[in-house]
Amino acid sequence: MFLSLFVFDPSSAADFETLKGHGGPVMDITVSRDSGRVATASFDNAVGVWSGREPDWLDGHEAAVKVVRFVNDDLVVSAGDDNALILWNLEDGSQKKLEGHTAKVMGLAVSPDRTMIASASWDAKIGLWPVDGGAPTFLSGHSAGVNKVAFSADGAWLYSASVDGSIILWDVAAKAEKRVIVRNGFGVNVLALGGKNSNETWVAYGSQDGVTRIVDIETGDRLHDFTLERRPILAMSLSEDGKRLATGDGHGFITVFDTESWSIESDFKAALKGPIWALAFSKDGEVLHAGGIEDIVYSWPVAGLGKFDPMAKETPNFLRKPEQMSNGERQFARKCSICHALTEGSARKAGPSLYEVFGRRAGTLPDYPYSKTLTGSDIVWTEETIDQLFLDGPDHFIPGSKMPMQVIAKPEDRTDLVNYLKAAAGSQNKNGETQ
């Protein structure tokens, strides 16, 4: 499969670009260090590799994709809530699943020589995976889930950040812990390594309490602290030349720091609704790609960042105020809308479309990759079975399905949801005709 290079034109900085096509929030963005093309990971269980405005979709994960990285321009690795890594060969279209973690994978890093992938998982372990095959090695040292990993520029060291508030330095060759660099009072969500002339002298991290902190790698001393009373810090990206560091937080702000003076270059309210989950500088450092609660990637020129309109100007259904919806619509918005569409086609959502769901046998929609549990199921979706689904919860009603566990306890809420779906999604009679 041939993928052409998509390059943003800095001369058109009067406008910003958007990449549209995902069916759920954008959880991660990465840029190829070879060509500069963009790959994205989404709650819709898919990876997009963008050639112009039309992506090539990589479908194979069974749950939300939390992170994606280029190994090289023809090889991509992704991971997420299904506990697995997938290696995607963009040249021949093949994929290889890497399994071994027992909880969701939140972070990935590729060694500078591109021979090894490191993974960070909420099973409190770090995986080291040879790119050319072979058994992985798992490193243990954190007492809680691991959020991010990063290789040093020479590939000799690996840094890991954890929910337990620590950053640990690992000797890659020895596959052993060297020392703890940071012990923070709150979980560390993101990290980046920097310094002059590819010689890392500092590590930057963002934590659950909203602090962005820069510490000396050798001593662990705090060099700079930035607390803007916006928590948590959820995304971080360092430009390829190391001169700018960008962070995204739970209040929708993007902050860009000058790493030479450690001054704030811009502090931009980038999302009117929801957090910033994903950030990545373009290869030339002139564009900042961002993703959050919407299914859109926004790409702003870094120069004059605060002059542009923010993302998420319209409130997603699941964030609308309760008084703006009927109870049935409210139940759908809160429980179903992020994963399911009400129109024909899956709309690249994490779950199948609910269009004409009543009277349909579970696991039979042609354009959706169901789990083995639902393929060949004898369940038919009716008022009674949908009610039972939310009374018992998916884990009990359909054990092994991809649907996340959730229960609607009140009978009147389940009834209102069913009635809303009947009105909004339609149904089928025995002849397959819409009722």
Which of 259, 280, 307 corresponds to the end of one domain? 307
Burial (CB count within 10 angstroms: exposed 0-12, middle 13-18, buried 19+), residue 40: buried
Give percent of the chain with pLDDT exceeding 90: 70
Phi, psi of 373 (to 5 degrees): -60, -40
Query: Does the residue 431 lie in any domain?
Result: no
Query: Does the residue 279 lie in any domain?
Result: yes
Query: Does the residue 432 lie in any domain?
Result: no
Asked whether residue 39 falls in the same domain as residue 181, the answer is yes
Torsion of CA 82, 28, 348, 413, to 10 degrees: 70
Residue-wise pLDDT tens digits, 38-87: 999 999 999 999 987 789 999 999 999 999 999 999 999 999 999 999 99
Asked whether residue 326 falls in the same domain as residue 303, the answer is no
Asked whether residue 298 falls in the same domain as residue 321, the answer is no
Which of 307, 331, 353 corresponds to the end of one domain? 307
Asked whether residue 16 falls in the same domain as residue 58, the answer is yes
Asked whether residue 302 falls in the same domain as residue 368, the answer is no
Residue 423 CB neighbours (<10 A): 12
Asked whether residue 265 falls in the same domain as residue 346, the answer is no
CATH code of 344's domain: 1.10.760.10
Query: Does the residue 151 lie in any domain?
Result: yes
Query: Does the residue 5 lie in any domain?
Result: no
Asked whether residue 295 falls in the same domain as residue 346, the answer is no
Residue 324: pLDDT band with limits 50, 70, 90: confident
pLDDT given at position 307: 79
Asked whether residue 170 falls in the same domain as residue 248, the answer is yes
Asked whether residue 120 falls in the same domain as residue 100, the answer is yes
Query: Does the residue 433 lie in any domain?
Result: no
Which position has the higher pLDDT, 167 or 230? 167
Report whether 122 contacts 163 (CB < 8 A): yes
CATH code of 247's domain: 2.130.10.10
Asked whether residue 285 falls in the same domain as residue 328, the answer is no
- Domain count of the chain? 2
Asked whether residue 402 falls in the same domain as residue 364, the answer is yes
Closest CA to 97 of 136, 70, 145: 136
Residue-wise pLDDT tens digits, 104-153: 999 999 999 999 999 999 999 999 999 999 999 999 999 999 999 999 99
pTM of the model: 0.83
Asked whether residue 226 falls in the same domain as residue 246, the answer is yes
Which of 288, 307, 326 corresponds to the end of one domain? 307
Query: Does the residue 187 lie in any domain?
Result: yes
Residue 13: pLDDT band with limits 50, 70, 90: very low
Give percent of the chain with pLDDT exceeding 70: 91
Question: Which structural domain range is residue 148 located in?
Answer: 10-307
Residue-wise pLDDT tens digits, 346-387: 678 888 889 999 999 999 988 788 877 888 788 999 999 999
Query: Does the residue 3 lie in any domain?
Result: no
Which amino acid would we find at residue 294? Answer: E
Inter-axis angle of helices 327-335 and 411-425, to 10 degrees? 90
